[in-house]
Every structure is written in C-alpha cells, then in structure tokens.
C-alpha cells in the first residue's frame, strides 16, 4: 500500500482514533492507554503499532515502559485540525477523560512522594545556594533572545525548565537517562496543564537528534554530573542550529567534597575558562552571562551562540 493508504487505514478503527485524541492530551505509556481505554495491553499495543507505522504517533522505550506521543509529521497536525472541525459540539473521548484524570492523579502522587522522600537533600542544596529564582529568571531572559524557538532541555529531571519555557517554544523536548525522573516530569507537566512539552529517555553523551535540530538548548545544573563535560558540551552544541544558543547554568568552583558522595557530583564546579573553551572548541561564540552568589555555592550562566 502507499503511504496515503496506510494513513487512512490507520484511522479506520474507532479505538485508534481515541488513542490519537488521548495522546494529544497527554503522553501516555501503553499500560496507561490500556487502563484508560479499558482494553488489554496486547490489543492496545497492536493499535499503537499501526498508528506508529503510519506516522501518526511516536513510540519510545524507557526501561520497561513504552510511551506514546503525537507524531511529528505534517499530516498529523492537519488531521487534528480536521478532527476538531468534524467534532464541533462532540467529544469522542468524553468517557475516557475520567480515567485519564486518574492517570494524572497517579502521576502527581508519585511526584509528591518523591519530593517528600528527597526533601532533606534538596533543602541542603537550597541552603547552600538559595538563588533558584534568580537563576531561572536569567535563563528565561536569555532563552527569549531572540526567541526560544525549538527547545531542548538536557537532563530535564523533574521538567522545571520545560515548565518555564515550553509555552513560549515552537516545540519543547526534555531528555533524561532516568525513567523515574521522566515519570516525575510528566506528572509535574500534566498537573500544570502543560501539553506543549514532550519528554523522552536519552543519554546526554549521545543525543538522538540531527545536527541543528534546536534553537535553544539548556543544561541546567546538569554538567557537574558529567565525567567528561567537554564531550557533553560538544554533543549539546551539535544540536544547536545557526542563530541558536546553548545555555549552561552550573556551579562556580567550590570545595564541598560531600557533594561527590551524597549527590554523586563528578565535578565541584567549573571555571569560566573551561566552559568557554569547551563551547568555543564546539564552534560556538561563548560568553559568561551572569553570576548568582549564594551562601556557599555560586551559580554561573554561560552562553554559546552559533
């Protein structure tokens, strides 16, 4: 069959249309889809495979889970516009929304439990730094010049940068190696009603994106976990398009050795010379944008433009 036949054949089943509408509202695992649709996982997996082969949804694996999101081809956007026109005054997934609300609630509960369990460690870092608001404001301001455009947040963690910038982005993607952190990010973004951002599992040392795929790339308090920060900067820079920028927020040099053992920091902060040199070696015009002092830890924001 031709691609056109595949496209329309994939829409011939009512369940697949429901799946398409559900993942527009929220990126869901196959298990969450099965629960929401009240169908078996094998059956839902088959429907998802057909939609994915037609390019209408995108699947990605995170540990033991497979997550399903909106496809990235032009026909998908056209299709949603057409469906909205055809369904004026009608909601095909009205009966699914209560179960979808339960998925959101389950995700938020996981977020709350994680933060409760880790509150002591986060409180310690906040006491040592305490400049989160100032750093976030500076990151947002830098990302807006000249515009956020296509956003990639590397090491997205709980999705805070996506929360701040996704609404201003043409498209927003967060990556993290940890399936647990990605589940937390999904929970926070869903609770905030943010449907602009997608998150997926990936390694910051080997990003699954073509060169020049993004206009704004961020590394917010991530570089100090890297055993080879120069390689991470080079890989991040590879994805920055002409006219785009890489923004790095991280600690200035410090002597708090306990952060190595307690928080698994590989580096105890960075000198300007090092970060700027790595950016320049990756083909970017580099500069230090701002310094944000804290009681014990200072945070610096560096920018590399292509």
Q: Which pLDDT score, from 0 to 100, does residue 215 have?
A: 98
Confidence of residue 191 (pLDDT cuts 50, 70, 90): confident
Residue 256 has pLDDT above 60, yes or no: yes
User: Strands 149-154 and 169-176, how do they pair?
Assistant: parallel
pLDDT at 138 over 80: yes
- Tens of pLDDT, residue by residue over 217-255, are 999 999 998 878 999 999 999 999 999 999 999 999 998
pLDDT at 85: 85
Can you tell me the distance from the alpha carbon of 170 to that of 232, in angstroms, rounded to the nearest whole number? Answer: 24
pLDDT, tens digit, 9 for 90 and up, residues 81-102? 888 888 777 888 888 888 888 8
Q: How far apart are CA 171 and CA 149, in angstroms?
A: 7
pLDDT of 209 higher than 70: yes
- What is residue 240's predicted lDDT score, i.e. its pLDDT? 98
User: What is the dihedral sign for C-alpha 87, 171, 178, 115?
Assistant: negative
Q: Which residues pair with 220 in a beta bridge?
A: 249
For residue 4, count other CB atoms closer than 10 A to its CB: 10
Higher pLDDT, 14 or 194: 14
The pLDDT of residue 228 is 82
For residue 209, cis peptide bond before it (omega within 30 degrees of 0): no
Residue 157 has pLDDT above 90, yes or no: no
SS3 track for 212-272: CCEEEEEEECCHHHCCCHHHHHHHHHHCEEEEEEEEEEEECCCCCCHHHHHHCCCCCCCCH
The whole-number average pLDDT for the span 281-297 is: 95
In the structure, what pLDDT confidence band is assigned to residue 107 with cuts at 50, 70 and 90? Answer: confident
**What value does the mean pLDDT of the chain take?**
87
Task: Work out the average pLDDT over 73-80.
Answer: 76
Q: What percent of the chain has pLDDT over 70?
A: 92
pTM: 0.73
Checking if the pLDDT of 59 tops 80, the result is yes
pLDDT value, residue 86: 83
Is the pLDDT at 76 greater than 90? The verdict is no
**H or E segment and range at residue 45:** helix 41-53
Instruction: In whole angstroms, give the CA distance from residue 59 to residue 68.
Output: 5
User: Which of 5-9, 68-72, 225-229, 246-250 is most confident?
Assistant: 246-250
Mean pLDDT of the region 132-156 = 96
- Mean pLDDT across the stretch 265-282? 92
């Amino acid at each position: 069959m031709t691609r056109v036949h595949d496209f329309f054949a994939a829409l011939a089943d009512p369940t697949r249309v429901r799946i398409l509408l559900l993942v527009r509202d929220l990126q869901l695992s196959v298990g969450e889809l099965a629960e929401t649709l009240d169908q078996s996982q094998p059956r839902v997996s088959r429907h998802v495979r057909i939609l994915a082969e037609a390019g209408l949804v995108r699947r990605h694996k995170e540990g033991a889970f497979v997550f399903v999101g909106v496809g990235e081809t032009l026909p998908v956007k056209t299709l949603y516009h057409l469906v909205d026109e055809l369904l004026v005054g009608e909601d095909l997934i009205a009966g699914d929304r209560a179960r979808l609300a339960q998925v959101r609630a389950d995700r938020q509960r996981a977020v709350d439990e994680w933060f409760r369990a880790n509150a002591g460690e986060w409180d310690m870092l906040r006491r040592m730094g305490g400049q989160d608001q100032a750093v976030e404001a500076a990151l947002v301001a830098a990302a807006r010049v000249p515009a956020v455009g296509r956003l990639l947040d590397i090491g997205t963690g709980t999705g805070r940068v996506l929360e701040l910038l996704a609404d201003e982005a043409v498209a927003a993607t967060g990556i993290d190696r940890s399936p647990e952190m990605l589940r937390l990010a999904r929970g926070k973004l869903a609770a905030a009603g943010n449907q602009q951002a997608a998150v997926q599992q990936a390694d910051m040392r080997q990003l699954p994106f073509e060169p020049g795929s993004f206009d704004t790339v961020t590394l917010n308090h991530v570089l100090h976990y890297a055993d080879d920060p120069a390689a991470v900067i080079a890989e991040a820079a590879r994805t920055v398009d002409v006219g785009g920028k890489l923004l790095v927020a991280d600690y200035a040099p410090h002597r708090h050795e306990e952060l190595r053992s307690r928080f698994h920091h590989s580096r105890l902060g960075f000198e300007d010379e090092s970060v700027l040199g790595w950016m320049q070696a990756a083909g970017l015009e580099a500069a230090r944008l701002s310094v944000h002092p804290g009681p014990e830890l200072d945070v610096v924001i560096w920018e590399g433009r292509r």
